[in-house]
Structure 1
Amino acid sequence: MRRAGGGTSAKGEDGTLTDRTILCFGDSNTHGTQALRFLNDRRRHAKPARWPTVMAETLGDGWDVIAEGHPGRTAVFDDPIEGEHKNGIRALPALLETHLPLDLVIVMLGTNDTKTRFSATAFDIAKGLERIAKTILASDAGPDGSAPKVLLAAPVPVIEVGPIAPMFVGAQAKSADLAEHLQAAAGRLGAGFIDLAPVAQADPVDGVHLTAEAQAAIGRAMAGAVQQLFS
Structure 2
Amino acid sequence: MSTILCYGDSNTWGATPQPRRGDFGRFAADVRWPGVLRAHLGAGHTVIEEGLNGRTTCIEDPVEGYHKSGTAHLIVALESHQPLDLVIIMLGTNDLKARFAMQPVDVGFGMGKLAEIALRSPFGPNGTAPEVLLVAPAPFAKLSWFEEMFTGGTEKSRHLAAEIAINAREKGVHFFDAGSVISSSDNDGIHLEADAHATLGKALADQVRSILAKG
Q: TM-score, normalised by structure 1?
A: 0.90
Q: Does 1:71 align with 2:40?
A: no
Map residues 23-42 of structure 1 onto 2, 5 A cutoff: 23-42=5-24
Letter in 1 for 2:37: M
Shift of 1:168: 0.8
Instruction: Find the counterpart in structure 2 of residue 217 from structure 1.
Output: 199
Contact 1:157–1:172 (CA under 8 A) maintained in structure 2: yes
Runs (5+) with no aligned partner, structure 1: 1-18
Instruction: Find the counterpart in structure 2 of residue 141 from structure 1.
Output: 123
Contact 2:87–2:133 (CA under 8 A) maintained in structure 1: yes
Match 1:128 to one of 110, 117, 122: 110
Q: Does 1:103 align with 2:85?
A: yes
For 1:89-127, what per-residue CA distance to the aligned partner results, in whole angstroms no more than 9, with x for missing partners? Answer: 111111111100000000000000011111011000000
Contact 1:116–1:168 (CA under 8 A) maintained in structure 2: yes
Contact 1:160–1:169 (CA under 8 A) maintained in structure 2: no
Q: Does 1:208 align with 2:190?
A: yes
C-alpha distance in 2, partners of 1:133/1:198? 21
The residue matched to 1:230 in structure 2 has which SS?
Answer: helix
Runs (5+) with no aligned partner, structure 2: none
For 1:21-79, what per-residue CA distance to the aligned partner results, in whole angstroms no more than 9, with x for missing partners? Answer: 00000000000000013223321111110000101111111110000000000010011
Letter in 2 for 1:117: R
Contact 1:25–1:67 (CA under 8 A) maintained in structure 2: yes
Letter in 2 for 1:68: E
Q: Does 1:188 align with 2:170?
A: yes
C-alpha distance in 1, partners of 2:143/2:6? 27
The residue matched to 1:134 in structure 2 has which SS?
Answer: helix
C-alpha distance in 2, partners of 1:49/1:159? 21
Contact 2:142–2:187 (CA under 8 A) maintained in structure 1: no
Q: Percent identical across equivalent pairs?
A: 43
Contact 1:47–1:53 (CA under 8 A) maintained in structure 2: yes
Letter in 2 for 1:47: A
The residue matched to 1:47 in structure 2 has which SS?
Answer: coil
User: Cα RMSD between the aligned structures?
Assistant: 0.9
The residue matched to 2:3 in structure 1 has which SS?
Answer: strand
The residue matched to 1:67 in structure 2 has which SS?
Answer: strand
Shift of 1:185: 1.0
Shift of 1:160: 4.5
